[in-house]
Structure 1
């Protein structure tokens, strides 16, 4: 199998970005149907809200991380990550992990094994090149795999823990990835796109913000109702805002491919502040979780899967009208969802439906434009 005969399986980002986008649309549409009382999933399956959260975390966000990991590790090591038939097998494993548990709980084991399998594949290549500093990626995937297993075991009654706990922990872990990677690439992308731009970038301050972010998540996990937890979370939100403004986000308004990353990252400090408010009982925890999940994670993902797909298919890093619409729709999803949950009334379900439609349109537009690109060889003839 060569990249000429099957370019869709030439590198990990190609199938997994498309699958993540497609499945996020399926999961949102199914959730909207369940809210209206007409869902398609079988009777006796995982409760709708937990299935929705699980699929948006493990069927969407984590799938993008897998595509990124398989692509990044090849760049780091110079060694081939799965391609051709081996990549196709990973895709089949992923599909079985999504559809299998809808048929019988026994197939959940397939989904549980998916992330550890990816971790083993990339971990072996990283160790082969003696690049221990990059082992964080397979370790994170392994941790997410453990949390996925804990979720299924709890949801099916095999262990006595709240099934929501591993889901929330998984989201927190994904946001920590975003803070670590975003803290490196967003200010760099900004500086590279605007010559002569002066930014406030201090490694000690960034490290402090990282520590407070991790502490906030740990405190909320173990002491969700606490004044100390609330104060630390709110303080972390303020620290994150200062960090973001130091990167000069308003200088990027003419650069949509960079602006979207700032707009998405803005939801991280908002999420921490909402997390603090939830600890005080002022708002629902779901408001904080969706600030992290829709605004930050969804926003950063649409920004990165457009940017990396352009770069890895040999195209210039320039956002066109389709990308700008996608970016705006994801941000609109977050804003509309927040409006629905911060208010109440007869318009609640209609507003949630509008938010869901915005999300689906964003990722359907992505698939429409990027499927032809990702299913054809690179423009510059390079492998990948």
Structure 2
């Protein structure tokens, strides 16, 4: 691309870390991490109130379906978008989208949340139409950046976003036709889990290596190798089996093999040696829920444990835990703060993982389920409430870029081998 073409292209969409205008829209992680944290708090508080009979939300859509949708395609999609809007420019070599285009993208996400919450007033179909536009737009933006940077291998990321968009539409279609939303929910969970396995599986040992080198001495995480490839190769078909045939014995076998490989993988990262770094430790704790969730999938396929236990182990522990950890580290890295985290970060992670342990117990203790639902929900709210208190000012006001030599939320480029 010559200078004239590049100049013309950069006039299409405002880019860069501008010093004018609201700080919140200077970089993709800022609005979406802020919005995700606030929605995690508000959405869960409304859900707890609905379970207690103190509130009604999205009755026409279905309150249970609304809760599941907003965690998978509302909260989680916002975190993923914030991560991608920050990381894709690193991979493509272009400045990040910022200013009014970023504000419009964030507004589109907000409109989807409001529309579904008010679907009783505006109608289910119009609310669905508004929500369903967000993920395809994110996929198009990421595809544009990747193609412009000629990073053809990273188009696999766009395909994952496209499948997540399809899962969202399928979820809505199931609601409209009053059929089972389970397959589309499992597909979304499987996609997030696969991304954690492929991208987080490189991120966690990389950050651990940096932390341990700074402390000096001792063994470092094993480099990416045959064990990692085997873990990925076994996890992807296990997740596919869970989506399509959750009660199959083949799924049980694949998931158990994947759980064993993932356990071996995470042990080789020496996560127990980063106890003095709350954020690094939380990354490891989140990843541990991958083998735990896979083991739960295997046992659920055999009828030994409730499927909800495996599902919430992955959604709250692996997906929620990894997203909270990445949000904390990315925010610190991109605002020039030390990436180790603080005692507030440690408390937030502890509350999140307590929720991840309490929520699956509801499937085993039905008489105590309402109490466990409430306790897990409160733990979730506390986790993201503490994040909002500590990191909200950084996201909204701190213009500083990362310290020289300090990594942020993502490796230089994605590698999903």
Q: 1:208 to 1:124 in 2, by over 3 A?
A: same
Q: 1:3 to 1:202 in 2, by over 3 A?
A: closer
8 A Cα contact 2:337 2:402, kept in partner:
no
1:150 positional shift: 1.3
1:137 positional shift: 2.2
Matched, 1:82 2:100: no
8 A Cα contact 2:21 2:99, kept in partner:
no
| TM-score of the two chains, using structure 1 as the length reference | 0.94
1:377 positional shift: 3.9
Query: Which stretch of structure 1 is more off in the superposition, 185-194 or 160-169?
Result: 160-169
The two structures, once aligned, show a CA RMSD in angstroms of 1.9
Q: 1:335 to 1:381 in 2, by over 3 A?
A: closer
2: distance between equivalents of 1:381 and 1:18? 19
Equivalent residue for 1:320? 342
1:152 positional shift: 0.9
Query: Which stretch of structure 1 is more off in the superposition, 297-306 or 136-145?
Result: 136-145
2: distance between equivalents of 1:80 and 1:187? 27
Find the residue that maps to 2:394 and give its secondary structure: helix
1:223 positional shift: 2.3
8 A Cα contact 1:81 1:122, kept in partner:
no
8 A Cα contact 1:237 1:268, kept in partner:
yes
Cα deviation 1:99-155 (Å, max 9, x = unaligned): 113332212112111111111112111111111122222221121111111111221
Instruction: Return 5+ residue gaps in structure 1 as ranges.
Output: none
Equivalent residue for 1:354? 375
Equivalent residue for 1:16? 32
2: distance between equivalents of 1:139 and 1:220? 20
8 A Cα contact 1:25 1:363, kept in partner:
yes
| TM-score of the two chains, using structure 2 as the length reference | 0.87
1:176 paired residue among 169, 194, 214: 194
Equivalent residue for 1:363? 384
1:156 paired residue among 167, 170, 176: 176
Q: 1:166 to 1:236 in 2, by over 3 A?
A: same
1:91 paired residue among 97, 101, 106: 106
Instruction: Return 5+ residue gaps in structure 2 as ranges.
Output: 1-13, 409-417
Q: Matched residue pairs, number? A: 379
Matched, 1:277 2:299: yes
Cα deviation 1:216-256 (Å, max 9, x = unaligned): 11222222222222122112111111111011111111221
5 Å matches for 1:327-346? 327-345=349-367
8 A Cα contact 2:231 2:261, kept in partner:
yes
8 A Cα contact 1:79 1:125, kept in partner:
yes
Equivalent residue for 2:83? 68
8 A Cα contact 1:260 1:327, kept in partner:
yes
5 Å matches for 1:1-384? 2-43=18-59, 45-101=60-116, 102-103=118-119, 104-105=123-124, 106-157=126-177, 162-195=180-213, 196=217, 197-345=219-367, 347-379=368-400
Q: 1:155 to 1:344 in 2, by over 3 A?
A: closer
1: distance between equivalents of 2:290 and 2:259? 7
Find the residue that maps to 1:15 and give its secondary structure: helix
1:202 positional shift: 4.7
Find the residue that maps to 1:194 and give its secondary structure: helix
Find the residue that maps to 2:363 and give its secondary structure: helix
1:41 positional shift: 1.4
